Amino acid sequence: MGSLDRLVSVEDFRQLARRRLPKSIFEFVDGGAGQELTLAANRADFERIRLIPRVLTDVSRPDLSTSLFSQSLPTPLVISPMGSCSLVWPQADIAIARAAAARGIPYTLSTMATTGIERMARAVDGPLWFQLYVLRDLDFVRQLTQRARENGYSTLVVTVDLQAGGKREKDLRNGISIPLRPSPRHVLEGMLRPGWSLRLLRGGLPQFENVRGYLGDTSAGLTIAARVGANLHAGFGWDDFRRIRDWWQGPLVVKGVLHAGDAAALMAAGADGIWVSNHGGRQLDSAISSIDALPAIRHALGAQVPILIDSGIRTGMDVIKAGALGAGAAAIGRAALFGAAAGEAGVARVLDILLEDIANGLKLAGAPVFRQIGPDLIA
């Protein structure tokens, strides 16, 4: 691993990604919607939380395990679904999933992944979840769920905060699309990042493997968000949700929930868990941060309902704060993708940094068992 040992935080890997990726690609990964108000709040609201540590507790063996859907997991981490990962590193989806599998961390494959359902299942021996975007063609949506079930994906994650594609102004200015339509600007950026360019040429231009042929005309040069948004089922409602619930026999989590009333109604309609998320600040700008939404949702659902959270998680302390406020697991997206700028070894290093931070944070907080932390840890 060598030089990667000198990187000691997710922010270090973010800066590595900034140096290694063309500006347009880095801004696609790093950026958010609109004025990026929600993107900024996701970090600021984690950073303002303070903890009250306890003393004279035995912290010699910190326990990071958690439980979701009656299953024990060795860590409180999950990998969030991400599309277009291969823009960062060839087959980055597989690199991230393999690094996660080696640590018992579930990997959530996006509908808009650049690796297909079947290929991921063949490549990775670890817990796999499938994230579903509800597209207008519900027959096609059902086929996606069947493919996931037949290939061993244990949990379905239905995303409900993508009624339309968020307005990502940086992507509009930069012209980032799939398939890539290189402009003179992109060629220049690629020349300034020759390592990235060579890897992209060897790996081939990324495609949305799971929806190949579904998204219509690929020559339009739409941004990624706009292309996906044009095919979403904007009328997705409760009857449609119940239909998906009937299709899927395993655990079903609903992702993109920020309102406590919605969370309670989804559980009543058959969900097995709630994933608190604002899509990493990439959808509704000015939406509440996930960490600020979490306490009300936990209060509405009670202590037993599984809750996950994403959006803005960059440190082990963020995971501990989320756990104290009611999340059974925290999901990371950008953090893993920043690591992927150095391939699978980079992702592995990012995951180890986070796990080491969580273990050390539990020790210093005098709270050695992750499953037992609660709001009394919060100032």
From start to end of 53-193, where are the E strands?
A: 66-68, 71-73, 77-79, 107-109, 128-133, 155-159
Check: CB of residue 141 under 8 Å from CB of residue 131. no
Residue 225 has pLDDT above 80, yes or no: no
Residue 154 has pLDDT above 80, yes or no: yes
pLDDT of amino acid 211: 83
279 noted as active-site residue: yes
pLDDT of amino acid 8: 97
81: tokens are 């679904």
Note the pLDDT tens digit of each residue in 363-372: 999 999 999 9
- Which residues does 32 contact at the CB level (< 8 Å), separation at least 6? 38, 39, 166, 168, 280, 281, 282, 285
Averaged confidence pLDDT in the chain: 92
pLDDT of amino acid 369: 98
Note the pLDDT tens digit of each residue in 13-57: 999 999 999 999 999 999 999 999 999 999 999 999 999 999 999
Q: Shortest CA distance to 112 belongs to which of 89, 93, 139?
A: 93
Note the pLDDT tens digit of each residue in 339-351: 999 999 999 999 9
186, 259, 279, 299: the active-site residue: 279
Question: What is the total count of domains within the chain?
Answer: 1
Position of tokens 């493997």? 209
pLDDT of amino acid 222: 47
Note the pLDDT tens digit of each residue in 71-126: 999 999 999 999 989 999 999 999 999 999 999 999 999 999 999 999 999 999 99
The torsion angles phi and psi of 76, rounded to 5 degrees, stand at: -90, 25
Domain containing residue 229: 2-377
Cα separation, 357 vs 194, whole angstroms: 34
Note the pLDDT tens digit of each residue in 165-199: 899 988 888 887 666 667 777 778 777 888 888 88
pLDDT of amino acid 226: 57
**Is residue 223 very low, low, confident or very high in pLDDT (cuts 50, 70, 90)?**
low
More confidently predicted of 230 and 195: 195
Cα separation, 312 vs 48, whole angstroms: 13
Position of tokens 């190949």? 212
Q: Domain holding 225: CATH number? A: 3.20.20.70
As a whole-number percent, the residues of the chain with pLDDT over 70 amount to 93
